Amino acid sequence: MSGWCSASHSFGAVDNFERPRRPLRKVIDMPLLDRTLLGPGPSNPYPEATAALSAPLLGHLDPEFLRVLDETCARLRRAWGTENARTLPLSGTGSIGMEAAFANFARPGDVVVVGVNGLFGERMVEVAGRYGAEVVRVDHDWGTPVDTERVLAAHPEPSMVAAVHAETSTGVRSDIRELALAVHKRDERALVLADCVTSLAGIEVAIDAWDVDIAYSGTQKCLGVAPGLAPFTVSPRAWDRRVPRPPTWYLDLNLIGAYVDGSSGGRTYHHTAPVAMITSLHAALGRILDEGLEAVWERHQAAGARLHEGLAELGLSLFAAEGYRLPELTTVRVPEGVDSAKTREALLTEYGIEIGAGVGAFASSVWRIGLMGHNARPDRVELVLGALGRVLGRR
């Protein structure tokens, strides 16, 4: 047998290759930078989530890991405010949740109405179209919430209505409860899809009470875990309307569910679950639920309110419409004459603080400041306000 690991090669054969010009340790070492991640995500994880990553690795079919997986799904149900049996963490970031939603519940030719008020509403349009849906987009000014009446008026009988709960690009909250209840009052068959990537575990999310059919999130925001998982939940109504054989194998919920659901006594292997990430999510959810969901929401609200107040004291104005501003993600207008990129660079290099730029047409005129998960704390608020005030004071 020939190849990289042929048995005929001894360790001494390595001497025949050119040695690196510097020791291997120096090649792979990275500086340990202590960053305070106050951008639109990722955020600094909860300490419990970080500690869980160092636990001994288990196999994805190990009975102990399957117990942790089942517990994680149960904890996610509490975080989502749902009894949905089909609630699980998908392998991938929040965008995988969006992809899975359209792949499994939008057939070619289905009419999908999307409320667009920012970048991630636009992505919903893009993804739904790639799966062959007939997309009807309802555009709103960026910085304003999705309007329920305009969305309802866009089409009389859509198969699905989709919107972003907390728009990460603009810092705006839309009323998903009002939208979902209105859609189902008109037509019980229509499915309602909510992007909750920046809202889950930061502000109230109540899937069952709001009558939402499909929702997804991401671990790197208010859940306080590193990027890598997309919490996902599906109502029984939506499950009955699923695509029998989706055009994607990896995101086929029929196959994934056969591994995650152990109620029948067996697990069918689909793909290797990211066991360390799920263990980390399990720990973070334990931390959140021990504190209490309402207390966590109140902590985010208090941090966001103080940030908004402090930014006003610095003479800065907010971008998102008043009354719809997220506490966990604040968009602030860059003052005239201030270089957005240089200000963010100064915060990063001098103070180790990351804040985000705007996106699209607002890339250089808006900053995005996140106070999510472990960072939704008074000390983080005062840290970013103090550093930003000093940097702006030098101009």
pLDDT band for position 221 (cuts 50, 70, 90): very high
| pLDDT given for residue 261 in this prediction | 82
Q: Is the pLDDT of residue 13 over 90?
A: no
| pLDDT given for residue 30 in this prediction | 61
> In the 3-class helix/strand/coil scheme, how is the chain assigned residue by residue?
CCCCCCCCCCHHHHHHCCCCCCCHHHHHCCCCCCCEECCCCCCCCCHHHHHHCCCCCCCCCCHHHHHHHHHHHHHHHHHHCCCCCEEEEEECCHHHHHHHHHHHHCCCCCEEEEEECCHHHHHHHHHHHHCCCEEEEEECCCCCCCCHHHHHHCCCCCCEEEEECEECCCCEECCHHHHHHHHHHHCCCCEEEEECCCCCCCCCCCHHHHCCCEEECCCCCCCCCCCCEEEEEECHHHHHCCCCCCCCCCCCHHHHHHHHCCCCCCCCCCCCCCHHHHHHHHHHHHHHHHHCHHHHHHHHHHHHHHHHHHHHHCCCCECCCCCCECCCEEEEECCCCCCHHHHHHHHHHHHCEECEECCHHHCCCEEEEECCHHHCCHHHHHHHHHHHHHHHHCC
What six digits make up the tokens of 234?
Answer: 């599906």
Residue 347, classified by CB atoms within 10 Å of its CB into exposed (0-12), middle (13-18) or buried (19+), is: buried
What six digits make up the tokens of 120?
Answer: 């991630």
What six digits make up the tokens of 210?
Answer: 């709001």
Q: Is the pLDDT of residue 352 over 60?
A: yes
Which of 61 and 16 is assigned the larger pLDDT?
Answer: 61
Architecture of domain 47-290: 3-Layer(aba) Sandwich (3.40)
pLDDT band for position 395 (cuts 50, 70, 90): low
State the CB neighbour count (10 A cutoff) for residue 66.
18
| pLDDT given for residue 167 in this prediction | 98
Domain 36-44+292-393 has CATH 3.90.1150.10: yes
| pLDDT given for residue 7 in this prediction | 35
Are 36-44+292-393 and 47-290 in the same CATH fold? Answer: no
For the segment 48-86, what is each residue's pLDDT rounded down to a tens digit? 999 999 999 999 999 999 999 999 999 999 999 999 999
Q: Which of 4-18, 76-90, 204-218 has the lowest mean pLDDT?
A: 4-18
| pLDDT given for residue 49 in this prediction | 98
Which of 394 and 260 is assigned the larger pLDDT?
Answer: 260
State the CB neighbour count (10 A cutoff) for residue 81.
18
Give the mean pLDDT of 330-353: 97
For the segment 239-298, what is each residue's pLDDT rounded down to a tens digit? 999 999 999 999 999 999 888 887 766 788 899 999 999 999 999 999 999 999 999 999
Please report, in range form, the residues annotated as the binding site: 368
Q: Is the pLDDT of residue 187 over 60?
A: yes
For the segment 122-148, what is each residue's pLDDT rounded down to a tens digit? 999 999 999 999 999 999 999 999 999
Q: Which residues pair with 369 in a beta bridge?
A: 330
Q: Which residues pair with 139 in a beta bridge?
A: 116
CA 371 to chain centre: 14
Give the mean pLDDT of 296-302: 98
**For all residues of the chain together, what is the average pLDDT?**
92
What ranges do the domains of the chain cover? 36-44+292-393, 47-290
Interstrand relation of 134-139 and 111-116 (parallel, antiparallel or unpaired) = parallel
Please report, in range form, the residues annotated as the binding site for substrate: 368
Cα–Cα distance, 218 to 94 (Å, whole number): 4
Predicted structure pTM score:
0.91
